[in-house]
Amino acid sequence: MADTPGEGATAPGGLSAKLPFGRCPRCRARTLFGSVISFAPQCRSCGLDFSGFNVGDGPAAFLTLIIGALVSALAIWLQLAAEPPFWVHIVLWVPLTTFAVIAGLRYSKAKLLAAEHRRKAGEARRREP
């Protein structure tokens, strides 16, 4: 597989469809994540070094705010519409929020890393005089 910009980005079953499963942007092996939401140091299949990519914590802040707002709105709507006991809110919203944040982080971090790889982006290096 060639490392050309835009490869597999729009094709059915392409890169966007495989990102949540933690596939390497170069070889498509399931080696991107070392744990639930943190990257592995490098791809165990092709050797691509993931530490050179700077995804940062930007996705975490946006996802927390967006998912928190959606879950809060849904919880308020449920309370006003059906007035369930408090334990229903705990059983319903805590796992849903946890799953949504983790799935969203995996997808957004993988998408950002793939975009950096596709555009050959990296940390700026200062030349010493």
Please report, for the chain, the start and end positions of each structural domain, with discontinuous segments joined by +.
15-118
Q: Is the pTM of this model over 0.85?
A: no
Averaged confidence pLDDT in the chain = 79
Cα(2)–Cα(4) distance, rounded to whole angstroms? 6
* pLDDT tens-digit readout, 6-53: 444 444 445 555 555 788 888 888 888 888 888 888 888 888 888 777
